[in-house]
Amino acid sequence: MTLVGPSLGSAVAIDFSINYPQAVDKLVLIDASVYAEGTGKLATLPEPVAYAGASLLKSLPFRLFAVLLTFNRLPFNIVTDWTNIGRLHCLLPWWEDATVNFMMSGGYNVADQIKAVKQKTLIIWGENDKIIDYKFAVRLHCELPNAKIRQIPNCGHIPHVEKPTVVSNLIMEFITANRSRLEKPVGVLATVQD
């Protein structure tokens, strides 16, 4: 299979591809959050302080700030919609407990595993990502021997949402590379368009 991991999902994709290499033929990492060293000092917070932090994470002002960082440019009415959408998972009854458990567990750290990835990898990065700097895309590209990197202009942290056609075309081109013309799936576009 081709495994796609956006943001923190890239850490999960790397971990999975290393632990189950026979299951993963190719890897696609989108604005990969793979160099964070877990949750750092958050793991040592007293539990009540961790719960206060989780409450802050689901607050409307924080979610609005996250949307403004995530997307390149959005009209205000769409910012409002994305703020509400981006907050939905925080309203689930188990979310605070899961967030605190994640924080206190030390989080996800795959930085030491990256060089063990053997699969062909496509790294996709939004040119205007304000959450994870492009230098980490370059670092990732340097550490993965079978990787190629593509940057998407006028795009923020979630290219698969902001520029879905561009991202899907890049992924299809990557998946079908080195296949014969007859093996290509129906409907694959020959050029990347906005």
Q: Please identify which of the residues 33, 129, 180, 194 carries the catalytic annotation.
A: 129
Which residue is catalytic, options 7, 10, 17, 33? 7
81 is known as an active-site residue: no
- Let me know if 157 is a catalytic residue: yes
Which tokens sit at 170? 């890049």
Q: What is the DSSP string of 19-67?
A: H-GGG-SEEEEES------TTGGGGGS-HHHHHHHHHHHTSHHHHHHHH
Catalytic residue list contains 7: yes
Burial 19-53 (b: 16+ CB within 10 A, else e): eeeeebebbbbbbbbbbbebbeebeebeeeebbee
Q: Which of the following is catalytic: 10, 31, 33, 157?
A: 157
The residues assigned a catalytic role are 7, 129, 157
